Amino acid sequence: MKHRQTVEQLLAAIGGQENLKLAEHCATRLRLILHDNNKLNKDEAEQIQGIKGYFYSTGQHQFVFGTGTVNEVYQDLLSVIDQNKLAEGDIKSEVYQNMTPVQKVVRTFADILVPLIPALVTTGLLMGLRGFLVELGLEMTPEFATMFGVLTDTAFAFLPVLIAYSASKKFGGNPIMGIVIGLMMVAPQLPNAYSVGSGDAEALNIFGINIVAYQGSIFPAIIAGWLIAKIEQWCRTWVPKMMDLVVTPFLSLLITFVTIIFLLGPVIQAVEHFVINGIVTLIEAPLGLGYIVFGGLQQAIVVTGLHHSIGVIELSLLSETGRNVIQPLTTASMAGQFGAAIGAAFLVKDAVRRMNMINASVPTLFGITEPLLFGVNLRSLRIFVSGIIGGAAGGLVTYLMHLTAPGMGITFIPGLLFYTESFGLLLNYLIVIGVSFAVAFVLVQAQRKYIVDEI
């Protein structure tokens, strides 16, 4: 067993196997729920071999091991414990009970939207590839441009379908019914929302209500997925089983469609536009203040676990404008914390410890910051604040350069692919990263005599 010593130290730190209630892992962290949290020894937990950080949140004891390693540690843990003694159920359900109302809402959004990210990332990369090919001088024939448009535009054109499917599945409904209601929301018989917005088409007017399709809408699709799932569940409480196959889907679709199109939809859509426009207005505050604040604090939002909700804003920005300012600002915030961590690593004289800090920081280059945050920067407020200032500096540069991305879901080095349509854009993106990193690195180095004692 490759990680025997790590597992032994882990079990000792949590108070033995008998104190372990549930266990699972994500991309970087081993997540444990204990019967008695008081039995955990925090000092021992932070000294486990190979660990890059430990913290407690929403009822979970989270041990940061990093990508790849965490999978191995998890498997070795399962091999030495009696799995029959673990509680039934899953960590998500257990954690959900320990969340605040705000955290529950954010987690629900994350569960709905995160499964969509691979498709949206791919679409964004294809947009970047198209821009890169055009920049190289490739002339597309109308037929070729049309086929490329299928690759780049389909996911966003049918975004409500994807969201309604994911939402209905999340809320315990039939995902196929979610797909159907999503397709109805963007049916070609309804005036295209973009065409109506640009003045190229007119909304349908029924009962004095202007009706348009929901291309690019997010919250109406989430409500539709939730509503059709709940109506389906309600129908099954009274519809005879012999009629369930016909009556339940008929009522579910009909009630949801009428509610979304004539009642909730217009209201939700108006509120959605108001909120999104408000956040965008805040980001675009005079003199780049919004960019500065967001670039500085985005990684602080990651610490709270609320960062998943930002995906809603990114989706809306891409749907409405085709550009995403959140992506470069997020990268700036990451680069600031990365610069602070590397600056701190070079203050450490012990070679092994310095290398551990660098190893915890490297995943940040690929958009995974938890090992860096919990393993290095949050150990010293000075380091973390230096990273915030570095990110804020990168946010200002982003504002000055009017930098935006054509997609979402990837940041830092993978995010380079969003800027291949021109050398100028690629250079601007690298400058944002460089400024954020340099400012944070220099600030940490300037506080050498204070930070050395803290870390």
Express each pLDDT in 282-305 by its tens digit.
Answer: 777 888 899 999 999 899 877 765
pLDDT at 309: 62
| Least confident stretch, 87-101, 231-245, 328-342 | 87-101
Interior angle at CA 141, CA 136 and CA 145, nearest 5: 80
Domain shared by 205 and 159, yes or no: yes
SS (H, E, C) 190-250: CCCHHHHHHCCCCCEEECCEEECCCCCCCHHHHHHHHHHHHHHHHHCCCCCHHHHHHHHHH
List of residues 6+ apart from 118 with CB closer than 8 A: 409
pLDDT band at 13 (very low <50, low <70, confident <90, very high): very high
Of 273 and 430, the structure prediction assigns the larger pLDDT to 430
Nearest alpha carbon to residue 434 among 344, 352, 339, 368: 339
pLDDT band at 306 (very low <50, low <70, confident <90, very high): low
Last residue of a domain, which of 248, 281, 314?
281
pLDDT at 272: 61
> Taking the CB of residue 303, how many other CB atoms lie within 10 A of it?
18
pLDDT band at 205 (very low <50, low <70, confident <90, very high): confident
Last residue of a domain, which of 281, 301, 316?
281
* Average pLDDT over every residue of 30-54: 90
Express each pLDDT in 241-267 by its tens digit.
Answer: 999 999 999 999 999 999 998 888 678
Of 99 and 3, the structure prediction assigns the larger pLDDT to 3
- Indicate whether 73 pLDDT > 90: yes
Which residue in the list 26, 138, 243, 430 is annotated as catalytic? 26
pLDDT at 29: 85
Distance, in Å, from the CA atom of 444 to the CA atom of 297, rounded to the nearest integer, reads: 17
pLDDT at 149: 86
135 inside domain:
no
With pLDDT > 90 as the criterion, what percentage of the chain qualifies? 43
Domain shared by 297 and 235, yes or no: no
Domain shared by 97 and 63, yes or no: no
Of 235 and 363, the structure prediction assigns the larger pLDDT to 235
| Least confident stretch, 70-84, 94-108, 169-183, 434-448 | 94-108
User: Looking at this protein, which amino acid is placed at residue 40?
Assistant: L
Domain shared by 206 and 292, yes or no: no
Question: What integer best gives the mean pLDDT of the chain?
Answer: 86
Domain shared by 147 and 273, yes or no: yes
Domain shared by 171 and 202, yes or no: yes
pLDDT at 270: 73
pLDDT at 351: 77
- Indicate whether 42 pLDDT > 80: yes
The highest-confidence range among 84-98, 139-153, 180-194, 212-226, by mean pLDDT, is 180-194
Domain shared by 75 and 152, yes or no: no
pLDDT at 429: 97
With pLDDT > 70 as the criterion, what percentage of the chain qualifies? 91
pLDDT at 354: 84
Of 426 and 90, the structure prediction assigns the larger pLDDT to 426
CATH number assigned to the domain comprising residue 22? 3.30.1360.60
Domain shared by 98 and 75, yes or no: no
Structural domain tally of the chain?
3
Domain shared by 96 and 51, yes or no: no
pLDDT at 127: 73
Distance, in Å, from the CA atom of 10 to the CA atom of 17, rounded to the nearest integer, reads: 10
pLDDT at 130: 77
Domain shared by 259 and 292, yes or no: no
| Least confident stretch, 52-56, 110-114, 264-268, 308-312 | 308-312
26 in active site: yes
The two tokens of residue 359 are: 């190893």
- Indicate whether 214 pLDDT > 70: yes
Strand order of the sheet with strand 53-57? 20-25, 29-34, 60-64, 53-57
Domain shared by 245 and 304, yes or no: no
Distance, in Å, from the CA atom of 29 to the CA atom of 398, rounded to the nearest integer, reads: 31
List of residues 6+ apart from 75 with CB closer than 8 A: none
Last residue of a domain, which of 60, 81, 102?
81
Distance, in Å, from the CA atom of 8 to the CA atom of 17, rounded to the nearest integer, reads: 10
244 inside domain:
yes
- Indicate whether 353 pLDDT > 80: no
- Indicate whether 386 pLDDT > 80: yes
- Indicate whether 125 pLDDT > 90: no
288 phi-psi bin (left φ>0, alpha ψ -120 to 50, beta other)? left
* Average pLDDT over every residue of 402-410: 88
Domain shared by 349 and 432, yes or no: yes
- Indicate whether 108 pLDDT > 90: no
351 inside domain:
yes
397 inside domain:
yes
pLDDT band at 53 (very low <50, low <70, confident <90, very high): confident
| Least confident stretch, 146-150, 268-272, 426-430 | 268-272
Express each pLDDT in 147-186 by its tens digit.
Answer: 988 988 888 789 899 999 999 999 999 999 999 999 999 9
Could you list the residue range(s) of the whole structural domain that residue 8 is in?
4-81
